[in-house]
Amino acid sequence: MSSRIRTELVEVNMGPQHPSTHGVLRLAVTLDGEVVVECHPDVGYLHRGIEKLAEMRSWIQFIPLTDRLDYLASMLGNAAYIYAVEKLGAIEVPERAEYIRIIMMELQRVASHLVFFGTMALDLGATTPFLYSFREREDVLDLFEMVCGARLTYNYFRPGGVSRDLPAGFAEKCKAYIKKQRSKLPEYDDLFTNNQIFIARTRNVGIISAEDAINYSLSGPSLRGSGVAYDVRTADPYSIYDRFDWHVITYPTGDVMSRFMVRVMEIRQSLNIIEQALDALPEGELKYKMPPRLKLPAGEVYHHIESARGDVGVYLVSDGGEKPYRLKWRAPSFINLGALNSMVKGWKVADIVAILGSLDVVLGEVDR
């Protein structure tokens, strides 16, 4: 008898204003009862035409715009662009600047993963972990403020170096932070990671196989959560990551829990890298002077780095002038979002929030 009950599919809009969508994102969801049949992300609310804007700015003037893509990991946005510019222009970087960059990039990864930890908890109804992780992130922002004066949009990297040397007392403060952060991580686990409700909401939920994850071009922790050990830092090495003792984190299951755990464990790896970089930081003053006008030779380059959300690729085409002829930004959040529909199908509407949260998208980067 039950199969004869007439049911209708219902269309539900989640967003564009919705606390769990991490920004301005609309999900057009088709539901059969509580079960998701289709889920189509509608993006573009924050589209600013960054790639077109790049064509109207000099190579140097574009740096501040890279802060405004993935605004939870602006240092890594800076880095992606600057490494591409340096590759095309064959620009040398002093040792000390490279170590400073490593410290900044990994601090940024920690800060970004802390936001993820907090918002993931918040999405699942736990408000306290959010306060914990933002408390520690505040210390990272203080360090960034010390270095470049800004707390969110840093504009710190320059072709051939960074905008200024580390201030006096930075290393001590940074080491104190690492110690504090390490002591807090078990507290996070006690409070949240080992929580029964959290485990029930995330284990075996929203599974994507390694094969599918690769086919959908997922990257970053969302790909490594499916057991694929692909990290640009080791797969296509840049900067000086090969000088430090660390390893790529993967979890095999491909569920929400795996993607969550990859990020939590990456915090520890990043802290290790920062600590080693601080110890190995070459002494002396940073000798670096930015050319007042930068021209890049005609040609093109595709360079990518491992950002907090995945594989950020920067494709530059130069006609030999002071401005990019074409600039393309491969945004991992945008591409990862493309797999959402296949991941939420068949799950309950409440799981959408958990699965979307586990992809850790930033809409500034999705929409560009």
Partner 1 sequence: MSELTEKLIRDSFPDAVVETSDVFGTLNVKITPASLVGVCELLHENGFDYLADVTAIDWQDRIEVVYQLTALERNEKLALRVDLNRDKPEIDTVTPIWRGANYQEREVYDLMGVVFAGHPELRRILLPEDWEGYPLRKDYVIPD
Residues interacting with partner 1, by CB under 8 A?
Answer: 43-44, 47, 49, 51-52, 87, 212, 214-218, 228, 230, 235-236, 299-304, 311, 313, 315, 317, 325-326, 328, 330, 334-335, 337-339, 342, 367-368
Q: Of 68 and 328, which has the nearer Cβ to partner 1?
A: 328
Dist CA 347 CA 343 (whole Å)? 8
Q: How far is CA 333 from CA 14, 188, 221, 303, 340, in A?
A: 18, 26, 11, 17, 11
- Least distance (Å) between residue 364 CB and partner 1: 13
Q: Of 136 and 311, which has the nearer Cβ to partner 1?
A: 311
3-state secondary structure 82-113: HHHHHHHHCCCCCHHHHHHHHHHHHHHHHHHH
Q: Of 61 and 342, which has the nearer Cβ to partner 1?
A: 342
- Least distance (Å) between residue 244 CB and partner 1: 20
Q: Of 58 and 341, which has the nearer Cβ to partner 1?
A: 341
Q: Write the single-letter amino acid at 199.
A: I
Residue 87 in 3-state DSSP? helix
Q: Of 106 and 367, which has the nearer Cβ to partner 1?
A: 367
Q: Write the single-letter amino acid at 230.
A: Y
- For residue 50, which of 33, 37, 39, 64 has the smallest C-alpha distance? 64
- Least distance (Å) between residue 289 CB and partner 1: 26
Q: Is the Cβ–Cβ distance between 118 and 129 less than 8 Å?
A: yes
- Least distance (Å) between residue 92 CB and partner 1: 16
Q: Of 54 and 261, which has the nearer Cβ to partner 1?
A: 54
Q: Is the Cβ–Cβ distance between 73 and 308 less than 8 Å?
A: yes
- Least distance (Å) between residue 226 CB and partner 1: 12
- Least distance (Å) between residue 121 CB and partner 1: 28
- Least distance (Å) between residue 276 CB and partner 1: 25
Task: Please report the DSSP string for 296-326 in residue order.
Answer: --SEEEEEEEE-SSSEEEEEEEE-SSSSEEE
For 134, the token pair is: 């933002």
Q: Of 43 and 115, which has the nearer Cβ to partner 1?
A: 43
Dist CA 211 CA 179 (whole Å)? 39
Dist CA 248 CA 167 (whole Å)? 31
Dist CA 96 CA 87 (whole Å)? 18
For 253, the token pair is: 């299951």
What's the length of the chain?
368
- Least distance (Å) between residue 327 CB and partner 1: 10
Q: Of 66 and 193, which has the nearer Cβ to partner 1?
A: 66
- Least distance (Å) between residue 338 CB and partner 1: 4
Dist CA 52 CA 91 (whole Å)? 25
Task: Give the sign of the dihedral formed by CA 34, CA 366, CA 271, CA 150.
Answer: negative
Dist CA 300 CA 189 (whole Å)? 46
Q: Of 51 and 98, which has the nearer Cβ to partner 1?
A: 51
Geometric angle at alpha carbon 237, from 221 and 152, rounded to 5°: 55
What phi, psi does 29 have (nearest 5°)?
-110, 135
Q: Of 182 and 326, which has the nearer Cβ to partner 1?
A: 326
- Least distance (Å) between residue 328 CB and partner 1: 4
